[in-house]
């Protein structure tokens, strides 16, 4: 058996059939060859061919820019790591949401299809205070030859007619918030003749020269489309890339010599990914009827519509091979024509006709190469309810699940009735989706691009507490770290992060924590931001104390701590050992606290103590480096969340002046307790988000490494979704000014119970021994067990929830 056939059986046994498999090394080779042959060309990967995030990430890592045609494709590109200035956005019906996102990101260019769209974009950019670069898509007067599907040179919904450009110039000149930097012409697709590409490119570059003269300024780039073809069917030859290099390079060089500021861009989709992908389906039934042999498989036109000829005038066979488990067929075996069909109840579900092959048996695999482009995402995957197939990426010896097979539970959850908001106060019983909760905010998808960084940094934190600096180097995580810092002190506002949001609400902050915790909760706790103490300083501090606490954030990070809890006394200073004694001018602080946070790396923080003079609780502002001889900080051993630092801080006779006592010293006992309670109340949803994210991260990890076993955990995915909805309701109540203490404590309790249950169930799987050999899984389970010491024990929250419920407390 061929090695690649053996690997396909391995994948089939792990993820089931049907599935697609993509070869990362083949992607890199294809990209490298193009860049080597055309070093001056700027290449863009067209996501429509295959928008799988892992595929796009390989393209970006191989030096490709991205061309997107929807908000999801745009967010996928950003999540894959592409820079905004290497991103194009195309499409004939762009929404305001899509255009706004493009402007907020400042992408290389929005390709506009009409003067009306240009004016709409100009108005939108002006409203946002931005100037957006654009490229004009031109529908030329000449026709292109050699394409299987022509996209220009005829009546079409795409582009601005070449003949109308002159009449549009006055309107173009009136657009002050857009900058025309490029031209876009797309000739067509699946061109296999290199001479056709050369001729079409020459015509496009000549057109660019004419348009450039009309505009009166040089263009920065000309996107000549692409359309490089790949052979699918018998009799088709591969595109001669060497001949294309020989004949196209002089055309490009001639253009660049006359237009030194301009770059030639080529967008490719199919050519970059088709040969790197294979489709695999399994035979479920064979029969011969009325003289024709049929092999019916579990995947057909519903997941590979191109092989079924959908969109083509005449269906032709892709290359198709039969893969049997065990030895390869021996010489002399008999072959016969077979019709390969899928599982749909329609006679159109044919993916191979008269395929000459050995007799298949139930369970054999059917493999269709050249299937990396326009596969599942270009097919009616939900027809008859079969759903999205699994997608796998191989890279050397590594095999990674990069798209989960469609889950029946998830599909049904998407169809769960949700009441639409009431219009004009009238009641409504109509079914539909409610407005998306904060956990559906589009910026969260962009955080998925940070997964690799957080996973790597989380592993380093186990040994090196200072590796938080790797996290700070990322602009999104810098802004995330400083959420809660007042605008006057925030040198890295969220509006400059690239997330396309101007501000971050408390609820959105919680949602971001939950999403990032799926990758590594320890990293979140290692970030050097204002943490809990920042809220208390803002609530009780004087202007000078606020300046003292937050000033450092104008130029960089600053670790903080919030020392409240004592092992024997909890957070009640009246029975604790932490005491501020002595008269004004000679006060001394003594005490001991245990806390989770950045105290080991902190520059400033708060300690909760009892004033011996007044009997009231006080918060003391402490800068550890200034008083190192009075302070001892010990890091305590823990099993998880190493970025959090479970520490004991001991204070011996620390001198305290009036400026170190938070507030004006006149706060009542009630004020002090309320300030502390408010901080803890805001923290409990944070702990809930960390726990929910960690639990979901474990489920995702198990799904990627042991997908067959993970199917028994589907109910936990639904529970996670339900708890997110409950947490969203808690956050809505909090932000509306009507928080309920019992609900806040209850969601924290339920979230910690959820992550504990995830660990328990994962360890009970039949594959648990293999999972425990995985260091990533072991770390996640250690982190999950650490939530018990996050802001008190679980039984405290159970007691709080019960007491608040029976007392009917509205807070």
More confident residue, 300 or 527: 300
Q: What is the pLDDT of residues 170-203, one digit of tens each?
A: 999 999 999 999 999 987 788 999 999 999 999 9
> In 3-state terms, what secondary structure has residue 396?
coil
Q: What is the mean pLDDT of residues 720-726?
A: 92
pLDDT of 665 reads 55
Catalytic status, residue 345: yes
pLDDT of 811 reads 36
Q: What is the mean pLDDT of residues 613-628?
A: 89
Residue 215's Cβ-count burial label (10 Å; 0-12, 13-18, 19+) is middle
> In 3-state terms, what secondary structure has residue 312?
coil
**Average per-residue pLDDT in the chain?**
86
Nearest to 438 by CA among 514, 499, 513, 508: 508
- In this prediction, residue 553 has a pLDDT band, given cuts at 50, 70 and 90, of very high
pLDDT of 802 reads 43
Element (H or E) spanning 733, and its range? helix 714-735
pLDDT of 806 reads 43
Answer whether residue 695 shows pLDDT above 90: yes
Half-sphere exposure of 512 (CA within 13 A, CB side): 23
- In this prediction, residue 433 has a pLDDT band, given cuts at 50, 70 and 90, of very low
Element (H or E) spanning 654, and its range? strand 646-656
Residue pair 370/318 in contact (Cβ under 8 Å)? The answer is: yes
Provide the percentage of residues in the chain whose pLDDT is more than 70.
Answer: 86
Q: What is the mean pLDDT of residues 106-131?
A: 95
Specify the long-range contacts of residues 24-29, CB closer than 8 Å, at least 24 apart. 24/54, 24/58, 24/276, 24/393, 24/394, 24/395, 25/395, 25/396, 26/275, 26/276, 27/55, 27/58, 27/59, 27/62, 27/272, 27/273, 27/276, 28/58, 28/61, 28/62
Q: What is the pLDDT of residues 243-258, one digit of tens each?
A: 999 999 999 999 999 9
Q: How many residues appear in the chain?
A: 811
pLDDT of 428 reads 39
pLDDT of 810 reads 40
* Torsion angle, alpha carbons of 532, 536, 541, 543, to 10: 60
Nearest to 777 by CA among 640, 677, 601, 613: 640
Answer whether residue 567 shows pLDDT above 90: no
pLDDT of 597 reads 63
- In this prediction, residue 151 has a pLDDT band, given cuts at 50, 70 and 90, of very low
Peptide bond into 18 cis (omega under 30): yes
Given the residues 69, 102, 175, 345, the one annotated as active site: 345
Q: What is the pLDDT of residues 4-24, one digit of tens each?
A: 889 999 999 999 999 999 999
More confident residue, 159 or 645: 159
Lowest-pLDDT choice from 69-83, 414-428, 655-669, 680-694: 414-428
Q: 3-class secondary structure for 49-79? A: HCCCHHHHHHHHHCCCEEEECCHHHHHHHHH
Answer whether residue 788 shows pLDDT above 70: no
Highest mean pLDDT among 324-328, 369-373, 589-593: 369-373
Distance CA 291, CA 338 (A): 11
Distance CA 493, CA 447 (A): 16
State how far Cα 765 lies from the chain centre: 28
Answer whether residue 426 shows pLDDT above 60: no
Provide the percentage of residues in the chain whose pLDDT is more than 90.
Answer: 59
Nearest to 38 by CA among 211, 226, 196: 226
Answer whether residue 49 shows pLDDT above 60: yes
Q: What is the mean pLDDT of residues 85-97?
A: 95
More confident residue, 312 or 218: 218
Distance CA 225, CA 447 (A): 31
pLDDT of 645 reads 63
Residue pair 609/580 in contact (Cβ under 8 Å)? The answer is: yes
Lowest-pLDDT choice from 140-144, 290-294, 734-738, 755-759: 140-144
Which whole-number Å values give the CA distances from 537 to 253, 472, 484, 485, 543, in the listed order? 63, 23, 11, 11, 10
Answer whether residue 64 shows pLDDT above 90: yes
Distance CA 98, CA 461 (A): 38
- In this prediction, residue 528 has a pLDDT band, given cuts at 50, 70 and 90, of confident
Q: What is the mean pLDDT of residues 89-107?
A: 94
Q: What is the mean pLDDT of residues 119-130?
A: 94
pLDDT of 570 reads 62
Q: What is the mean pLDDT of residues 769-797?
A: 67
pLDDT of 515 reads 96
Answer whether residue 235 shows pLDDT above 50: yes
Q: What is the pLDDT of residues 732-771, one digit of tens each?
A: 888 888 777 788 888 998 999 999 999 999 888 877 888 8
Strands (E), 364-523: 365-368, 390-395, 398-403, 418-419, 431-432
Q: Which residue has tokens 């009246």?
A: 574
Answer whether residue 285 shows pLDDT above 60: yes
Answer whether residue 809 shows pLDDT above 50: no
Element (H or E) spanning 700, and its range? helix 669-705
Nearest to 727 by CA among 432, 418, 409, 439: 439
Nearest to 561 by CA among 524, 600, 589: 600
Q: What is the mean pLDDT of residues 297-322?
A: 91
More confident residue, 298 or 408: 298
Residue 505's Cβ-count burial label (10 Å; 0-12, 13-18, 19+) is middle
């Amino acid at each position: 058996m061929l090695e690649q056939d053996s690997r396909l059986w391995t994948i089939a046994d792990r993820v089931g059939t049907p599935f697609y498999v993509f070869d990362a090394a083949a992607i890199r080779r294809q990209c490298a060859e193009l860049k080597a042959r055309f070093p001056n060309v700027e290449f863009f990967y067209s996501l429509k061919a295959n928008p799988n995030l892992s595929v796009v990430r390989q393209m970006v890592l191989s030096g490709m820019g991205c061309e997107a045609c929807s908000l999801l494709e745009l967010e996928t590109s950003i999540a894959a790591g592409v820079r905004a200035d290497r991103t194009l956005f195309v499409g004939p019906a762009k929404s305001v949401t899509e255009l706004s996102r493009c402007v907020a990101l400042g992408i290389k260019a929005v390709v506009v299809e009409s003067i009306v769209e240009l004016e709409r974009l100009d108005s939108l950019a002006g409203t946002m205070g931005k100037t957006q670069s654009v490229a004009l898509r031109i529908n030329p007067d000449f026709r292109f030859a050699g394409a299987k599907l022509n996209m220009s040179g005829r009546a079409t919904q795409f582009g601005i007619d070449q003949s109308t450009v002159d009449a549009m110039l006055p309107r173009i000149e009136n657009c002050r918030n857009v900058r025309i930097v490029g031209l876009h012409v797309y000739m067509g697709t699946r061109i296999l003749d290199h001479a056709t590409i050369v001729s079409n490119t020459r015509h496009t570059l000549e057109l660019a020269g004419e348009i450039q003269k009309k505009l009166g300024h040089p263009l920065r780039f000309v996107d000549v489309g692409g359309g490089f073809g790949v052979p699918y069917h018998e009799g088709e030859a591969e595109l001669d890339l060497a001949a294309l290099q020989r004949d196209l390079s002089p055309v490009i060089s001639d253009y660049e010599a006359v237009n030194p500021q301009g770059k030639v861009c080529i967008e490719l989709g199919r050519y970059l990914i088709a040969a790197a992908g294979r489709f695999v389906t399994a035979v479920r039934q064979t029969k011969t009827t009325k003289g024709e042999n049929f092999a019916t498989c579990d995947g057909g036109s519903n997941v590979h519509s191109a092989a079924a000829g959908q969109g083509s005038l005449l269906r032709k066979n892709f290359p198709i091979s039969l893969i049997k488990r065990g030895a390869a067929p021996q010489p002399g075996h008999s072959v016969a024509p077979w019709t390969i069909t899928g599982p749909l109840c329609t006679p159109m579900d044919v993916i191979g006709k008269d395929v000459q092959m050995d007799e298949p048996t139930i369970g054999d695999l059917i493999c269709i190469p050249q299937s990396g482009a326009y596969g599942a995402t270009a097919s009616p995957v939900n027809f008859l309810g079969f759903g999205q197939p699994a997608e796998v990426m191989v890279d050397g010896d590594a095999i990674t699940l990069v798209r989960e097979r469609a889950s029946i539970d998830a599909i049904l959850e998407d169809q769960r009735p949700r009441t639409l908001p009431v219009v004009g106060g009238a009641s409504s019983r109509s079914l539909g989706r409610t407005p998306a909760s904060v956990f559906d905010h589009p910026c969260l998808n962009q955080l998925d691009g940070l997964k690799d960084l957080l996973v790597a940094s989380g592993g380093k934190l186990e040994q090196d507490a200072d590796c938080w600096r790797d996290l700070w180097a990322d602009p999104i995580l810098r802004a995330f770290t400083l959420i809660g810092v007042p605008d006057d002190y925030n040198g890295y506002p969220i509006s400059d992060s690239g997330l396309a949001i101007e501000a971050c609400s408390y609820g959105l902050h919680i949602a971001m924590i939950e999403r990032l915790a799926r990758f590594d909760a320890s990293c979140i706790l290692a970030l050097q931001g204002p943490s809990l103490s920042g809220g208390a300083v803002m609530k009780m501090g004087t202007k000078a104390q606020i300046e003292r606490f937050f000033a450092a954030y104008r130029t960089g990070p600053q670790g903080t701590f919030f020392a409240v809890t004592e092992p024997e006394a909890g957070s009640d200073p009246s029975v604790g050992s932490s005491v501020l004694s002595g008269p004004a001018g000679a006060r001394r602080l003594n005490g001991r606290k245990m806390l989770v946070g950045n105290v080991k790396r902190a520059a400033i923080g708060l300690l909760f103590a009892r004033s011996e003079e007044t009997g009231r609780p006080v918060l003391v502002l402490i800068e550890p480096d200034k008083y190192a001889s009075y302070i001892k900080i010990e890091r305590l051993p823990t099993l998880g969340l190493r970025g959090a630092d479970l520490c004991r801080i001991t204070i011996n006779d620390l001198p305290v002046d009036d400026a170190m006592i938070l507030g004006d010293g006149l706060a009542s006992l009630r004020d002090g307790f309320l300030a502390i309670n408010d901080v803890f109340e805001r923290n409990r949803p944070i702990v809930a988000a960390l726990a929910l994210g960690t639990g979901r991260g474990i489920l995702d990890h198990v799904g990627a490494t042991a997908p067959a076993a993970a199917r028994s955990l589907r109910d936990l995915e639904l529970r996670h979704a339900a708890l997110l909805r409950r947490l969203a309701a808690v956050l809505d109540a909090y932000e509306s000014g009507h928080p309920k203490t019992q609900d806040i404590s209850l969601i924290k309790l339920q979230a910690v119970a959820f992550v504990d249950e995830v660990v328990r169930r994962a360890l009970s799987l039949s594959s648990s021994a293999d999972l425990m050999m995985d260091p990533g899984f072991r770390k996640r389970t250690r982190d999950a067990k650490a939530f018990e010491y996050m802001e008190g024990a679980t039984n405290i929250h159970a007691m709080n929830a019960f007491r608040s419920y029976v007392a009917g407390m509205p807070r």
